[in-house]
A = this chain, B = another copy of it.
Amino acid sequence: MKRKPSIHDIARELDVSATAISFVLNGKAKEKRVSEELEKKILDYIHKVGFSPNLIAKSLRTGKSNIIGMLVEDISDPFFSSITRWVETRAFEHGYKVFFSSTENETEKAKSLIRIFRERQVDGYIIAPTPGIEAEIRSLMDDHIPVVLFDRHFPQLPTINVLIDNYQGAYDAVDHLRVNGYKNIGLVTLDSKQTQMTDRLKGYTEAIKANKGKGCVLKIPFAHREAVKRISDFLTVNKGLDAVVFLTNYLAISGLEAIAALGLSVPEDLAIVGFDDNTHFSLFSPSITAVAQPVEEIAGQVILQLIDRLRKPEAKTGKKTIVLPTQLIVRNSSGRKVKTKPVAGPKGFTTVKTKPIP
Protein backbone atom coordinates (compact mmCIF):
# COMPACT_ATOMS: atom_id res chain seq x y z
CA MET A 1 0.00 0.00 0.00
CA LYS A 2 1.45 3.32 -1.12
CA ARG A 3 2.13 5.67 1.72
CA LYS A 4 -0.05 8.73 1.54
CA PRO A 5 1.74 12.09 1.61
CA SER A 6 2.00 13.68 5.02
CA ILE A 7 2.11 17.31 6.01
CA HIS A 8 5.89 17.07 6.08
CA ASP A 9 6.06 15.73 2.55
CA ILE A 10 4.12 18.73 1.43
CA ALA A 11 6.25 21.05 3.51
CA ARG A 12 9.33 19.74 1.75
CA GLU A 13 7.67 19.97 -1.64
CA LEU A 14 6.60 23.58 -1.16
CA ASP A 15 9.61 24.58 0.92
CA VAL A 16 7.47 25.86 3.78
CA SER A 17 7.14 24.64 7.36
CA ALA A 18 4.75 21.92 8.47
CA THR A 19 3.56 24.37 11.08
CA ALA A 20 2.23 26.75 8.44
CA ILE A 21 0.42 23.93 6.68
CA SER A 22 -1.15 22.78 9.91
CA PHE A 23 -2.38 26.29 10.66
CA VAL A 24 -3.84 26.69 7.19
CA LEU A 25 -5.49 23.28 7.34
CA ASN A 26 -7.14 24.17 10.62
CA GLY A 27 -8.33 27.58 9.49
CA LYS A 28 -5.95 29.31 11.87
CA ALA A 29 -4.05 31.12 9.15
CA LYS A 30 -5.37 34.54 10.18
CA GLU A 31 -5.17 33.99 13.88
CA LYS A 32 -1.62 32.70 13.68
CA ARG A 33 -0.59 35.38 11.23
CA VAL A 34 0.31 33.26 8.25
CA SER A 35 0.76 35.63 5.27
CA GLU A 36 -2.04 35.56 2.73
CA GLU A 37 0.43 34.72 0.06
CA LEU A 38 1.67 31.65 1.90
CA GLU A 39 -1.86 30.59 2.71
CA LYS A 40 -2.88 30.74 -0.92
CA LYS A 41 0.18 28.83 -2.03
CA ILE A 42 -0.57 26.05 0.45
CA LEU A 43 -4.29 25.90 -0.29
CA ASP A 44 -3.71 25.76 -4.02
CA TYR A 45 -1.27 22.91 -3.70
CA ILE A 46 -3.49 20.98 -1.32
CA HIS A 47 -6.44 21.24 -3.63
CA LYS A 48 -4.31 20.28 -6.59
CA VAL A 49 -3.03 17.04 -5.07
CA GLY A 50 -6.21 16.38 -3.10
CA PHE A 51 -4.38 16.11 0.20
CA SER A 52 -6.33 15.03 3.24
CA PRO A 53 -4.69 14.87 6.62
CA ASN A 54 -4.44 11.72 8.68
CA LEU A 55 -7.13 12.10 11.29
CA ILE A 56 -5.73 9.25 13.34
CA ALA A 57 -2.56 11.21 13.93
CA LYS A 58 -4.57 14.30 14.66
CA SER A 59 -6.67 12.42 17.19
CA LEU A 60 -3.64 11.01 18.92
CA ARG A 61 -2.11 14.42 19.23
CA THR A 62 -5.19 16.39 20.25
CA GLY A 63 -6.96 13.74 22.26
CA LYS A 64 -10.15 14.51 20.31
CA SER A 65 -11.59 12.18 17.68
CA ASN A 66 -14.63 14.21 16.62
CA ILE A 67 -16.52 10.98 16.79
CA ILE A 68 -19.72 10.38 18.73
CA GLY A 69 -20.50 6.82 19.73
CA MET A 70 -24.18 5.97 19.68
CA LEU A 71 -25.74 2.84 21.13
CA VAL A 72 -29.29 2.00 20.17
CA GLU A 73 -31.32 -1.07 20.89
CA ASP A 74 -31.72 -2.14 17.29
CA ILE A 75 -30.69 -0.12 14.29
CA SER A 76 -33.28 -1.83 12.11
CA ASP A 77 -36.15 -0.79 14.36
CA PRO A 78 -37.97 2.11 12.67
CA PHE A 79 -37.90 4.24 15.81
CA PHE A 80 -34.17 3.88 16.36
CA SER A 81 -33.22 4.09 12.73
CA SER A 82 -35.03 7.37 12.25
CA ILE A 83 -33.50 8.79 15.44
CA THR A 84 -30.01 7.90 14.22
CA ARG A 85 -30.67 9.45 10.84
CA TRP A 86 -31.53 12.76 12.43
CA VAL A 87 -28.72 12.60 14.93
CA GLU A 88 -26.23 11.87 12.17
CA THR A 89 -27.34 14.88 10.15
CA ARG A 90 -27.31 17.26 13.07
CA ALA A 91 -23.97 16.00 14.39
CA PHE A 92 -22.39 16.48 10.99
CA GLU A 93 -23.38 20.15 11.06
CA HIS A 94 -21.31 20.44 14.21
CA GLY A 95 -18.33 18.66 12.72
CA TYR A 96 -18.93 15.30 14.32
CA LYS A 97 -19.22 11.86 12.77
CA VAL A 98 -21.51 9.37 14.50
CA PHE A 99 -20.68 5.69 14.80
CA PHE A 100 -23.60 3.59 15.92
CA SER A 101 -24.18 0.01 16.95
CA SER A 102 -27.04 -2.13 18.16
CA THR A 103 -27.04 -3.51 21.69
CA GLU A 104 -30.10 -5.72 21.13
CA ASN A 105 -30.74 -4.73 24.73
CA GLU A 106 -28.05 -7.13 25.92
CA THR A 107 -25.94 -5.97 28.84
CA GLU A 108 -22.77 -7.70 27.70
CA LYS A 109 -23.04 -6.37 24.19
CA ALA A 110 -23.48 -2.83 25.48
CA LYS A 111 -20.49 -3.16 27.81
CA SER A 112 -18.26 -4.44 25.07
CA LEU A 113 -19.38 -1.71 22.68
CA ILE A 114 -18.59 0.95 25.25
CA ARG A 115 -15.16 -0.59 25.70
CA ILE A 116 -14.57 -0.62 21.96
CA PHE A 117 -15.64 3.00 21.66
CA ARG A 118 -13.44 4.02 24.58
CA GLU A 119 -10.41 2.34 23.06
CA ARG A 120 -11.01 4.43 19.97
CA GLN A 121 -11.21 7.62 22.00
CA VAL A 122 -14.74 8.57 21.10
CA ASP A 123 -15.48 12.11 22.31
CA GLY A 124 -19.03 11.63 23.54
CA TYR A 125 -21.80 9.09 23.89
CA ILE A 126 -25.48 8.87 23.04
CA ILE A 127 -26.96 5.80 24.67
CA ALA A 128 -30.30 4.06 24.88
CA PRO A 129 -29.07 2.04 27.85
CA THR A 130 -29.58 -1.66 28.36
CA PRO A 131 -30.17 -2.87 31.91
CA GLY A 132 -27.07 -3.31 34.03
CA ILE A 133 -24.67 -0.77 32.57
CA GLU A 134 -24.86 1.81 35.36
CA ALA A 135 -21.23 1.19 36.30
CA GLU A 136 -19.95 1.79 32.77
CA ILE A 137 -21.91 4.99 32.47
CA ARG A 138 -20.71 6.18 35.83
CA SER A 139 -17.16 5.42 34.77
CA LEU A 140 -17.56 7.55 31.64
CA MET A 141 -18.88 10.38 33.76
CA ASP A 142 -16.03 10.01 36.23
CA ASP A 143 -13.64 10.54 33.34
CA HIS A 144 -15.62 13.62 32.31
CA ILE A 145 -16.68 12.10 29.03
CA PRO A 146 -20.02 13.59 27.94
CA VAL A 147 -22.96 11.16 27.92
CA VAL A 148 -26.58 11.68 26.96
CA LEU A 149 -29.13 8.96 27.59
CA PHE A 150 -32.34 8.72 25.64
CA ASP A 151 -35.48 6.63 25.45
CA ARG A 152 -34.83 5.24 28.94
CA HIS A 153 -32.58 6.22 31.84
CA PHE A 154 -31.30 5.29 35.28
CA PRO A 155 -33.09 7.46 37.83
CA GLN A 156 -30.19 7.08 40.29
CA LEU A 157 -27.59 8.44 37.85
CA PRO A 158 -27.07 12.20 37.41
CA THR A 159 -27.04 11.98 33.62
CA ILE A 160 -28.55 14.14 30.93
CA ASN A 161 -31.68 12.36 29.77
CA VAL A 162 -33.89 12.98 26.78
CA LEU A 163 -37.15 11.17 27.29
CA ILE A 164 -40.75 11.18 26.24
CA ASP A 165 -43.79 11.25 28.45
CA ASN A 166 -44.30 7.51 28.46
CA TYR A 167 -46.86 7.66 31.23
CA GLN A 168 -49.07 10.13 29.43
CA GLY A 169 -48.66 8.37 26.09
CA ALA A 170 -50.01 5.10 27.47
CA TYR A 171 -52.69 6.92 29.45
CA ASP A 172 -53.87 8.68 26.29
CA ALA A 173 -54.06 5.40 24.41
CA VAL A 174 -56.34 3.86 27.03
CA ASP A 175 -58.43 6.97 27.33
CA HIS A 176 -58.93 7.17 23.59
CA LEU A 177 -60.20 3.58 23.57
CA ARG A 178 -62.51 4.27 26.50
CA VAL A 179 -63.98 7.34 24.81
CA ASN A 180 -64.58 5.25 21.69
CA GLY A 181 -66.66 2.83 23.70
CA TYR A 182 -64.27 0.04 24.66
CA LYS A 183 -64.77 -1.41 28.11
CA ASN A 184 -62.25 -4.19 28.54
CA ILE A 185 -58.87 -2.94 27.54
CA GLY A 186 -55.94 -5.34 27.81
CA LEU A 187 -52.24 -4.63 27.66
CA VAL A 188 -49.32 -6.43 26.07
CA THR A 189 -45.92 -5.26 27.27
CA LEU A 190 -42.36 -6.43 27.77
CA ASP A 191 -41.33 -8.10 30.98
CA SER A 192 -38.89 -5.30 31.67
CA LYS A 193 -37.83 -3.06 34.51
CA GLN A 194 -36.52 -0.35 32.22
CA THR A 195 -38.02 3.05 32.83
CA GLN A 196 -39.67 3.51 29.45
CA MET A 197 -41.64 0.31 29.98
CA THR A 198 -42.52 0.76 33.64
CA ASP A 199 -43.72 4.31 32.96
CA ARG A 200 -45.92 3.14 30.12
CA LEU A 201 -47.31 0.37 32.28
CA LYS A 202 -48.08 2.89 35.01
CA GLY A 203 -49.90 5.08 32.49
CA TYR A 204 -52.07 2.14 31.49
CA THR A 205 -52.75 1.08 35.07
CA GLU A 206 -53.72 4.56 36.20
CA ALA A 207 -55.97 5.12 33.20
CA ILE A 208 -57.75 1.85 33.91
CA LYS A 209 -58.10 2.69 37.60
CA ALA A 210 -59.40 6.17 36.86
CA ASN A 211 -62.37 4.55 35.18
CA LYS A 212 -62.76 1.82 37.73
CA GLY A 213 -62.06 -0.76 35.06
CA LYS A 214 -60.22 -4.03 35.38
CA GLY A 215 -56.78 -4.36 33.91
CA CYS A 216 -55.48 -7.39 32.10
CA VAL A 217 -51.78 -7.49 31.37
CA LEU A 218 -49.51 -9.85 29.43
CA LYS A 219 -45.76 -9.48 29.93
CA ILE A 220 -43.42 -11.02 27.39
CA PRO A 221 -39.64 -11.36 27.73
CA PHE A 222 -37.59 -9.22 25.36
CA ALA A 223 -37.03 -10.73 21.92
CA HIS A 224 -39.08 -13.78 22.86
CA ARG A 225 -39.35 -16.22 20.00
CA GLU A 226 -42.88 -17.19 20.78
CA ALA A 227 -44.32 -13.74 21.25
CA VAL A 228 -47.03 -14.47 18.69
CA LYS A 229 -48.10 -17.63 20.45
CA ARG A 230 -48.08 -15.94 23.85
CA ILE A 231 -50.31 -13.17 22.59
CA SER A 232 -52.53 -15.65 20.84
CA ASP A 233 -52.98 -17.63 24.06
CA PHE A 234 -53.57 -14.43 25.99
CA LEU A 235 -56.34 -13.37 23.62
CA THR A 236 -57.89 -16.81 23.65
CA VAL A 237 -57.97 -17.01 27.43
CA ASN A 238 -59.22 -13.47 27.90
CA LYS A 239 -62.13 -13.54 25.49
CA GLY A 240 -63.78 -10.64 27.28
CA LEU A 241 -61.27 -8.14 25.94
CA ASP A 242 -62.57 -5.73 23.33
CA ALA A 243 -59.34 -3.74 22.93
CA VAL A 244 -55.61 -4.20 23.43
CA VAL A 245 -52.78 -1.72 23.78
CA PHE A 246 -49.33 -2.91 22.66
CA LEU A 247 -46.49 -1.10 24.36
CA THR A 248 -43.84 -1.49 21.65
CA ASN A 249 -43.65 -1.53 17.92
CA TYR A 250 -42.65 -5.16 17.69
CA LEU A 251 -45.26 -6.32 20.15
CA ALA A 252 -47.89 -4.68 17.96
CA ILE A 253 -46.54 -6.48 14.91
CA SER A 254 -46.57 -9.80 16.75
CA GLY A 255 -50.03 -8.98 18.01
CA LEU A 256 -51.29 -8.43 14.48
CA GLU A 257 -49.91 -11.80 13.48
CA ALA A 258 -51.70 -13.42 16.39
CA ILE A 259 -54.93 -11.63 15.56
CA ALA A 260 -54.68 -12.69 11.92
CA ALA A 261 -54.08 -16.28 12.95
CA LEU A 262 -57.11 -16.21 15.24
CA GLY A 263 -59.18 -14.73 12.44
CA LEU A 264 -60.35 -11.78 14.48
CA SER A 265 -61.54 -8.58 12.82
CA VAL A 266 -60.07 -5.28 13.85
CA PRO A 267 -61.63 -3.23 15.34
CA GLU A 268 -64.96 -5.10 15.36
CA ASP A 269 -63.72 -8.01 17.46
CA LEU A 270 -60.75 -6.28 18.96
CA ALA A 271 -59.54 -2.68 18.81
CA ILE A 272 -55.79 -2.03 18.69
CA VAL A 273 -53.43 0.77 19.68
CA GLY A 274 -49.67 0.54 19.29
CA PHE A 275 -46.79 2.46 20.86
CA ASP A 276 -44.26 3.98 18.45
CA ASP A 277 -45.54 4.83 15.04
CA ASN A 278 -44.39 2.81 12.07
CA THR A 279 -44.29 3.68 8.37
CA HIS A 280 -46.41 0.69 7.63
CA PHE A 281 -49.10 1.18 10.22
CA SER A 282 -51.05 3.35 7.82
CA LEU A 283 -50.93 0.55 5.25
CA PHE A 284 -52.26 -2.30 7.28
CA SER A 285 -55.91 -3.19 6.86
CA PRO A 286 -57.21 -1.61 8.91
CA SER A 287 -54.64 1.08 9.55
CA ILE A 288 -53.22 1.05 13.07
CA THR A 289 -53.71 3.74 15.70
CA ALA A 290 -50.45 4.50 17.50
CA VAL A 291 -48.77 6.66 20.12
CA ALA A 292 -46.09 8.46 18.11
CA GLN A 293 -42.84 9.75 19.51
CA PRO A 294 -41.52 13.14 18.35
CA VAL A 295 -38.50 11.59 16.66
CA GLU A 296 -37.02 14.73 15.18
CA GLU A 297 -37.27 16.64 18.44
CA ILE A 298 -35.76 13.79 20.41
CA ALA A 299 -32.80 13.68 18.04
CA GLY A 300 -32.50 17.46 18.14
CA GLN A 301 -32.44 17.60 21.92
CA VAL A 302 -30.03 14.71 22.18
CA ILE A 303 -27.49 16.36 19.93
CA LEU A 304 -28.03 19.80 21.43
CA GLN A 305 -27.32 18.52 24.91
CA LEU A 306 -24.33 16.49 23.85
CA ILE A 307 -22.69 19.26 21.81
CA ASP A 308 -23.23 21.64 24.69
CA ARG A 309 -21.38 19.28 26.99
CA LEU A 310 -18.63 18.66 24.46
CA ARG A 311 -18.05 22.39 24.24
CA LYS A 312 -17.49 22.77 27.96
CA PRO A 313 -16.03 19.50 29.17
CA GLU A 314 -15.16 20.79 32.62
CA ALA A 315 -18.55 22.27 33.39
CA LYS A 316 -20.29 21.04 36.48
CA THR A 317 -22.42 18.13 35.48
CA GLY A 318 -25.76 17.70 37.07
CA LYS A 319 -28.79 15.64 36.36
CA LYS A 320 -30.92 17.10 33.62
CA THR A 321 -34.01 15.47 32.22
CA ILE A 322 -35.92 16.64 29.19
CA VAL A 323 -39.35 15.15 28.68
CA LEU A 324 -41.06 15.51 25.32
CA PRO A 325 -44.75 14.90 24.64
CA THR A 326 -46.14 12.04 22.56
CA GLN A 327 -48.91 12.29 20.04
CA LEU A 328 -51.74 9.85 19.53
CA ILE A 329 -52.28 9.19 15.83
CA VAL A 330 -55.81 7.94 15.42
CA ARG A 331 -56.45 5.53 12.59
CA ASN A 332 -58.99 2.80 11.92
CA SER A 333 -57.89 0.07 14.31
CA SER A 334 -59.50 1.86 17.22
CA GLY A 335 -62.63 3.14 15.52
CA ARG A 336 -65.73 3.81 17.63
CA LYS A 337 -67.22 0.63 18.98
CA VAL A 338 -70.40 -0.58 17.32
CA LYS A 339 -72.80 -1.64 20.06
CA THR A 340 -75.10 -3.73 17.95
CA LYS A 341 -72.95 -6.74 17.40
CA PRO A 342 -74.36 -10.01 16.11
CA VAL A 343 -74.75 -13.02 18.33
CA ALA A 344 -73.28 -14.57 21.38
CA GLY A 345 -70.23 -14.11 23.48
CA PRO A 346 -70.17 -11.80 26.48
CA LYS A 347 -69.94 -8.15 25.48
CA GLY A 348 -70.49 -8.77 21.81
CA PHE A 349 -67.38 -10.80 21.38
CA THR A 350 -67.47 -12.90 18.25
CA THR A 351 -65.71 -16.16 18.25
CA VAL A 352 -63.20 -17.25 15.70
CA LYS A 353 -64.93 -17.43 12.37
CA THR A 354 -62.09 -18.15 10.03
CA LYS A 355 -59.50 -20.82 10.19
CA PRO A 356 -55.98 -19.52 10.35
CA ILE A 357 -54.21 -19.65 7.02
CA PRO A 358 -52.06 -22.74 7.01
- A residues bordering B, Cβ < 8 Å? 1-2, 4, 52-57, 59-60, 63, 65, 75-76, 78, 81-82, 84-85, 88, 97, 99, 101-102, 115-116, 118-121, 142-145, 253, 256-257, 260, 263, 265-266, 279-280, 282-287, 313, 331-332, 347-352, 354-355, 357
Contacts and interface: CB of A to CB of B under 8 A. Distances in A.
B350 A265 contact: yes
Nearest to A57: B60
28 contacts: A1-B143, A1-B144, A1-B313, A2-B143, A2-B144, A4-B143, A52-B119, A54-B119, A54-B121, A56-B56, A56-B60, A57-B60, A60-B60, A75-B84, A75-B85, A76-B82, A81-B81, A99-B99, A253-B280, A253-B283, A263-B350, A265-B350, A265-B352, A283-B284, A286-B352, A286-B354, A348-B354, A348-B355
Contacts of A265: 350, 352
Given A99-B99, A121-B56, A357-B287, A76 B65 contact: no
Given A85-B76, A349-B357, A52 B285 contact: no
A54 B279 CA distance: 42
A351 to B, nearest CB: 8
Contacts of A282: 257, 357
Contacts of A332: 354, 357
A88 B52 CA distance: 28
A121 B286 CA distance: 50
Most-contacted residue by chain B among A88, A279, A352 (CB, 10 A): A352
A65 B75 contact: no
Closest 3 CB pairs of A and B: A76-B81, A285-B285, A55-B119
A101 B88 contact: yes
Nearest to A355: B348
A265 B351 CA distance: 10
Contacts of A84: 75
